[in-house]
Structure 1
Amino acid sequence: MDSRSHFEPDVVYEIFKKVWARSSEAGDENDDTAMAEAEPVVEGGANAVGGPSKKPRSTTANANALKLTCELLKLLVTETVQRAATVAEAEGSTQIEGSHLERILPQLLLDF
């Protein structure tokens, strides 16, 4: 198999970690507001002094899950290019342009 014909699990994992970090940061901001509104402060309770403890969760991905994700990404990209090429060919074009992608994306997203 050609090294350019697949996605590297390490790269996909790094992308996942960045997304998890961003969603965790966004979640922390939203959680603070929601907790302040939803939970009354009870003397001597868990949220009386410092609130509930917020331990950073370590998020990992199983190696098999990463391989599967890479395979799904490869299939998605391959299918996208094939569908866009079909549309481009029907219009008499030899290159895939943004307009071709715009035409196939709604159905592609519904299919995947």
Structure 2
Amino acid sequence: MEEPTFEPDLIHAIFKIVWSRRALERQMIEGADALDGETGAGTSKKNRPTSANGNALKLSCELLRNFITEAVQRAATIAEAEGVSKIEPTHLERVLPQLLLDF
């Protein structure tokens, strides 16, 4: 039986939102540079649409699932050590710095 994971379409939609925001930020920065007298050199790699390979999306889903599972397990360990049966946001806040370093 396969473990539940995130839908690749969902992760792709999230990626597209992030890519769109970054493209807008780049355009705003480049627009400010153009006002300073610099001109662009035509279509660059930065202006091309970004896409994701299907296998890359599946891998991203699996990585995200592993990250969240590990975060919950570590937070549960902290909560259990405190004698609490419910994970609180503070438990996640306490494990997040080390978790980010580990991943």
Normalising by structure 2, report the TM-score. 0.87
Question: Are 2:82 and 1:83 aligned?
Answer: no
Equivalent residue for 1:33?
Answer: 32
Question: Are 2:64 and 1:65 aligned?
Answer: no
Structure possessing the higher radius of gyration over alpha carbons? 1
Equivalent residue for 1:43?
Answer: none
Distance (whole Å) between structure 2 residues aligned to residue 93 and residue 76 of structure 1: 23
> Which ranges in structure 2 are unaligned for 5 or more consecutive residues?
none
Q: Counterparts in 2 of 1:39-50, with a 5 A limit?
A: 39=38, 47=39
Distance (whole Å) between structure 1 residues aligned to residue 41 and residue 21 of structure 2: 21
Deviation per residue, 1:42-62 (Å, 9 max, x gap): xxxxx4xxx544575221100
Distance (whole Å) between structure 1 residues aligned to residue 34 and residue 100 of structure 2: 35
> Which ranges in structure 1 are unaligned for 5 or more consecutive residues?
40-46
Question: Are 2:93 and 1:102 aligned?
Answer: yes
Equivalent residue for 2:11?
Answer: 12
Distance (whole Å) between structure 2 residues aligned to residue 34 and residue 52 of structure 1: 13
Query: Where do 4+ consecutive residues of structure 1 move more than 2 Å?
Result: 34-39, 51-56
Normalising by structure 1, report the TM-score. 0.81
Return 28-37 or 100-109, whichever deviates more.
28-37
Q: Give RMSD over aligned pairs.
A: 1.9
